[in-house]
Structures are given as C-alpha cells and as structure tokens.
Amino acid sequence: MRLVSNGLAGCLLLLGAMVHAEERTFQVFVDGKPAGVCRTTVSTEGDVETVTMTTDVKVRFLGFKYEYSSKSVEFWKGGVVQKLESTVNDDGKKLHVKAEAGEQGLTATSKGRSVICPKESIPSTGWRIPRLDIPKQTATVLDTEDGTATAVQIDFIGKWQSKLATQNIEGFRFKVTGKGIDNEWVYDAAGRPVRQTMKWDGHAIVLEITGIQK
C-alpha cells in the first residue's frame, strides 16, 4: 500500500529543496481546553533541516496550576536526525537532553546517563516518522524530556482533512504505540506535522495547527 505516489514524492522532493524557512503554529489543548502554543520553525538547505520547536503551556482550573515550557533544536539530514538538544521546565522540574549520531547509532545523554539508540530513531516531538508510504512499521522513539528510548509500532489509520484559513489540508493519520506511548500523529503530503494527540499523566493533549507561514 503506497500513500504517496512516486510521481508526487518526486515533486515533493523538488519543492523541498527550494524551501528556505517555514513556521508552523499549533494551539495546545489540555482535556479539550486551550492551554498554550507550540511553534515549530524549520530551515531547509538541500536535504538538511534545522528544526526548532518551542512550547508554552499553562493550565488553570479549580485552584490547580500547572506550567510547562520546552525548547528543542533538531538537525536532520536525508530524513534521519543527526543531532538534537532539548531543555524542559516541567512545572519547576528542569530537564535537559542531548543526542548525536555516530557509528554505533544515536547516543542520547541526560542527567549524566547515556543511551545508544538505533540510527533512525525518531524524537518524541514527532517531526517526522521513518516512512509515509507503508501501513505498518516499527521504530524507536527518543524521549526529548528524559532521554529514554522506547520501541513503538506505527500504523497508518486513515486519511485526514481540515481547512486552515482558505487552504485545504490533506493528511495521513498514524497511530504510534509502545510502552507508555499512545499517540496519533498526522502529517501532510510533505511529511510535516499538522496535528498530534497524546495521553499524558491521565490528560488528553492535542496540538492543532493554526498557521503556516513561509
């Protein structure tokens, strides 16, 4: 089963080589209520991408207060992450992860502890998945908060369509599951994220795209 035809894929590669910069803005919902913003900026030069993602979330209800902020910078080449660094403030708890590709794979370091992941591991930010054109695949997700690695199953579960201003966006929905992971990631035809859902600490988290600026 092929989700993106060879002809379309060739056109996308050609267009991708011409892209210099793009920013995607996402509204963050927690349990159905607006709670913050995520901004993802990507600069592209040939097959090299530099992706910067910042997220700011504040939750207030019934006297409960929670704040979360993060910034991650990822460097990709040929669809494989080469290096990343992530800093997180999880309601006062500071977290820091660095990872870099080498001969043995992707080495992630957090709190003085290192883990070697498969070379084609994908960060938990969900910027890309290994393949858009096959219905079932396995991968390793590198958690950009604590540096742990988790084996996951990625299943294509259907097409997706939405309207952004006057633009119709068509996408492909994938279910990502593993130990402690129950996510749905949606990508457009260029393989870039347009929607994410996940479960975290008993809460439903949704990132819904609200803007694309080039």
Task: For residue 28, give Cα distances in angstroms to 13, 81, 209.
Answer: 30, 25, 9
Write out pLDDT tens, residues 44-75: 998 899 999 999 999 987 778 999 999 999 99
Write out pLDDT tens, residues 3-24: 444 444 444 444 444 557 999 9
**pTM attached to this predicted model:** 0.86
Contacts of 57 (CB under 8 A, 6+ apart): 28, 30, 35, 36, 66, 67, 68, 69
Structure tokens at 155: 């299943």
Q: What is the pLDDT of residue 116?
A: 96
The ranges of the chain with pLDDT < 50 are: 1-17
**What is the rounded distance in angstroms from the CA atom of residue 135 to the CA atom of residue 16?**
23
